[in-house]
């Protein structure tokens, strides 16, 4: 495309590329950079892309989901702080019996009514969906988001769907490519479910008893 800030990796599309696709979709000229002053439509295009990008990740995919991720307690404050780029967060109810909830970015003990955890607890394990930047997300995901955002952006700016370059079929085709890639990376089964999504708890009493003893500081 002859634009600045192109990705150094062949085939990778940058956020700038995506913004220019959205601008082209409404008949606007491309821009050379996302830095500094931008035309109004370029700013709206970038905001729309980032909005759709975050919304698309909340579902949870193989590349942004981790189960039993350890969050370590701060030794000075006794608190557990959850990073700002956590989009979804779920503790194992068998381990913690719904004792802890997230308030702001702090873990809150509903029994003790405090964010300061008991001395015998050094960390908590949670299933997490992370929010990643454009460059850290898969190309197939970014392509789907670009087409989806282009349709939303055109409707917002033009107020009409008549001049859409991308159709609902285009969006669906990009989504199919993404879902096919996702299936190739998954190894779901009937017992554990899909490891890439926050799982429904399965009946595992032995796990629940053993892990709860540990969380409560009980040693056998």
pLDDT at residue 137, as a whole number: 97
Tell me the average pLDDT across 191-212.
50
More confident residue, 186 or 52: 52
Q: Would the pLDDT of 68 be above 80?
A: yes
pLDDT tens per residue, range 123-141 = 999 999 999 999 999 999 9
Q: What is the mean pLDDT of the chain?
A: 83
pLDDT at 35 over 80: yes
pLDDT tier at 160, thresholds 50, 70, 90: low
Nearest C-alpha neighbor of 46 from the set 156, 129, 139: 156
pLDDT at 193 over 60: no
Q: What is the mean pLDDT of residues 74-102?
A: 91
Instruction: Give me the mean pLDDT over the 48-65 stretch.
Output: 96
Q: Nearest 10 degrees: CA dihedral of 43, 45, 46, 51? A: 120
- DSSP letter (8 states) at residue 114: B
CA atoms within 13 A on the CB side of 80: 22
pLDDT at 42: 94
Please give the share of the chain, as a percent, with pLDDT higher than 90.
60
173-199 mean pLDDT: 73
For residue 47, give the H/E element and its range.
helix 40-58
pLDDT score, position 3: 38
Residue that is written with structure tokens 């409707």 in the block: 155
9 versus 11: the higher-pLDDT residue is: 11
Mean pLDDT of 147-155: 93
* pTM of the complete model: 0.76
Distances (CA, A) of 118 to 21, 40, 77, 91, 207: 52, 51, 11, 17, 22
Q: If we measure between CA atoms, which residue out of 37, 33, 40 comes closest to residue 5? A: 33
CA distance 9 to 13: 9
Span of 41-45, 74-78, 195-199 with lowest mean pLDDT: 195-199
Q: What is the pLDDT of residue 12?
A: 86
E runs forming strands in 62-122: 65-72, 86-91, 100-103, 106-109
Rounded Cα distance between 10 and 64, Å, is 23
- 166: confidence class by pLDDT, cuts 50, 70, 90: confident
Which alpha helices (H) appear in 82-219, and where do they start and end? 93-96, 139-158, 168-185, 205-215
Q: Looking at the predicted structure, is the pLDDT value of residue 114 above 80? A: yes
pLDDT at res. 7: 45
Listed residue (195, 178, 199, 179) closest to 187, CA to CA: 195
Q: Which residues contact 133 (CB under 8 A, 6 or more apart)?
A: none
Residue with tokens 């702001």, as numbered in its chain:
104
Nearest Cα neighbor of 118 from 103, 102, 104, 100 is: 100
Delimit the domains of the chain by residue range.
15-59+133-185, 65-130+199-215
């Amino acid at each position: 495309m002859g634009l600045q800030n192109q990705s150094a990796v062949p085939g990778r599309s940058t956020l700038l590329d995506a913004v220019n696709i959205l601008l082209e979709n409404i008949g606007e000229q491309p821009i050379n950079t996302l830095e500094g002053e931008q035309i109004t439509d370029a700013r709206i295009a970038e905001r729309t892309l980032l909005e759709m990008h975050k919304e698309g990740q909340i579902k949870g995919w193989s590349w942004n989901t981790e189960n039993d991720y350890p969050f370590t307690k701060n030794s000075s404050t006794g608190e557990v702080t959850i990073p700002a780029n956590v989009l979804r967060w779920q503790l194992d109810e068998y381990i913690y019996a719904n004792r802890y909830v997230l308030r702001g970015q702090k873990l809150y003990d509903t029994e003790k009514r405090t964010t300061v955890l008991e001395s015998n607890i050094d960390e908590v394990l949670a299933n997490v969906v992370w929010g990643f930047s454009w460059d850290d997300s898969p190309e197939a995901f970014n392509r789907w988001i670009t087409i989806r955002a282009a349709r939303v952006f055109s409707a917002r700016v033009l107020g009409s769907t008549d001049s859409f370059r991308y159709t609902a079929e285009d969006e669906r085709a990009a989504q199919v490519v993404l879902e096919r890639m996702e299936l190739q990376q998954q190894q779901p089964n009937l017992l554990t479910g899909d490891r890439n999504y926050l799982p429904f708890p399965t009946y595992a009493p032995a796990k629940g008893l053993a892990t709860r003893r540990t969380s409560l500081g009980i040693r056998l």
